[in-house]
Amino acid sequence: MTSSMDESAQAWTPSDFEARLRAMGETRYHHRHPFHLLMNEGKLSQIQLQAWVLNRYYYQSSIPLKDAALIARCKDQKVRVEWLHRIIDHDGDDDREPGGIDRWLILGEALGLPRTLLLEEQGILPATRFAVDAYVRFVAQGTLLSAIASSLTELFSPQLIQTRVSAMLCHYDFLDEAALAYFSRRPLQAGRDSHFALAYVLEHARTPESQTDVLNALSFKCDVLWAQLDALYYAYVSPGFTPPGAFNP
Amino acid sequence: MTSSMDESAQAWTPSDFEARLRAMGETRYHHRHPFHLLMNEGKLSQIQLQAWVLNRYYYQSSIPLKDAALIARCKDQKVRVEWLHRIIDHDGDDDREPGGIDRWLILGEALGLPRTLLLEEQGILPATRFAVDAYVRFVAQGTLLSAIASSLTELFSPQLIQTRVSAMLCHYDFLDEAALAYFSRRPLQAGRDSHFALAYVLEHARTPESQTDVLNALSFKCDVLWAQLDALYYAYVSPGFTPPGAFNP
């Protein structure tokens, strides 16, 4: 009659648990969202792509804040040292090369969005802000395990990026390889990052409770990504009702 | 009759303001604390030095958390990029070399403190924890200007470190240059860091209110350092009443 007798209270083995996480990506990651499907079929207008890039900039530029928040609450020096390069990946390094945020600005310029428009964070959908801010807060305030687990969507991003880059080069003649420089770096970075995060999670989530926390964190993060595309679809595809103050060229 | 007519409400010029900040260091920085004076006169016992290193380890190991907290709340990418190397200075870089925290552990070992004792953060004085945690919170929750200003004690540290290293090599024969490796890096790092922080503060604090905030932040940080030495003096020098649970060999 104790809860440990209940099958649902058994911990999964690491390999079964990894399979669960990957299965969640299959069903909940935003590669399945209709907005991305339209994008990859070449069916978005330049304005719709602009709206995506503008809103997604808020996500991109919040990632270093999110990663610094994780480091700020992490007493494990090894994790901090491993996590730090994520900030450099996005913010760049003054001595060497631009980071992901600067590369995203290049994508915006290729689409006709002035750099200042993105930098000023004007016209972003409120739903974008709510979702992204919720993600940063989740990482700052939840457990370290959940914070690390919420990055596991990177397990699924290289595949999506590969599909996206091919589709963009094929369908949108205003985009070329230079415009898509952001994406050329991400698969390698995401592979390294998700490798570390997955190993950490498999090592530290060995109880039913902690495995549930990890699954909930990944599910939450999928929701954060999905909600951003829902809002874009609603405002710029169908029904196309743009909220007051949002980007509306 | 408006407050702008009041002389006290005039902003200082940048050079006058810098002089104020430096004057505050002269009177409030912990180079004047009796515990440091004893240290530099060769009058501390090995156990008293151990207590200092053990407690100061808690401060050292919290610095990356403090700096990550600053980055996590900083929307200015240039500041983030500049600030990041502080984390690397303390945490090290897995590919290259150990950071300040590891060098501090070396100092502890030279004094006969096992590395594990420091890593476990056992026996630290409660007052150390309260002061250091207050510093981290101040940086995470105050304004960015105050957070940056609170680092300005680094303006004064190279001088103190120079005095300390000479004194330690002269007075304590259980310490050699290898044991003091932590201090060999700090003056250069502190010089670079305080140069940036001072320039930022002089540029951004142009009103009486913001200049007061900066002075208060520096004063607060001096208190954080001073309070740690007060507690050490009380517990390990005079009257030598060690609180329950604190290091007491």
Tens digit of each residue's pLDDT (9 = 90 or more) over A186-235: 999 999 999 999 999 999 999 999 999 999 999 999 999 999 999 999 99
The yes-or-no verdict on residue B5 having pLDDT over 60 is no
**B1 inside domain:** no
Kindly list the residues from chain B whose CB atom is less than 8 angstroms away from the CB atom of residue A71: 64-65, 68, 71-72, 87
Q: How far is B61 from chain A (nearest CA, A)?
A: 9
Candidates A62, A67, A84, A104, partner chain B, best to mutate (most B CBs within 10 A): A84
User: What value of ipTM does the predicted structure carry?
Assistant: 0.85
Q: Cα separation of B196 and B76, whole Å?
A: 14
Q: What is the pTM of this model?
A: 0.90
Distance from CA of B87 to the nearest CA of A (A): 8
Residue A140 forms contact with B (CB below 8 Å): yes
Structural domain of B57: 13-236
Q: Which residues of B touch A93 (CB under 8 A)?
A: 81
B73: closest chain A residue by CA:
A65
CB contact under 8 A, A68 and B72: yes
Residue A18 maps to a domain: no
Indicate whether B102 pLDDT > 80: yes
Q: Å from B51 to nearest chain A CA?
A: 22
Q: Is residue B247 part of a domain?
A: no
| CA dist., res. A243 & res. B157, Å (int) | 53
Does residue A17 lie in a domain region? no
Distance from the A93 Cα atom to the nearest Cα atom in chain B, whole angstroms: 6
pLDDT band at B44 (very low <50, low <70, confident <90, very high): very high
Counted residue by residue, chain A has a size of 249
Are B65 and A74 an interchain contact pair (Cβ–Cβ within 8 Å)? yes
Please determine, for residue B83, whether its predicted confidence score (pLDDT) is greater than 90.
Answer: yes
Look at B80 and A91 and tell me if their CB atoms are within 8 Å.
yes
Q: Cβ–Cβ of B68/A65 closer than 8 Å?
A: no
The predicted structure's pLDDT at residue A94: 74
Q: Is there a domain that residue A6 lies in?
A: no
Query: CB distance B68–A80 less than 8 Å?
Result: yes
Instruction: Quote the pLDDT of residue B8.
Output: 58
The whole-number average pLDDT for the span B21-25 is 97
- For chain B, say whether A154 makes contact (Cβ under 8 Å): no
User: Distance between CA A146 and CA A143 in Å, rounded?
Assistant: 5
How many A×B Cβ pairs under 8 Å? Answer: 65
Q: Which residues of chain A fall below pLDDT 70? A: 1-8, 95
Count of the separate structural domains present in chain A: 1
- Domain annotation covers residue B243: no
Whichever domain contains B104, its CATH number is: 1.20.910.10
Q: What is the mean pLDDT of chain B?
A: 94
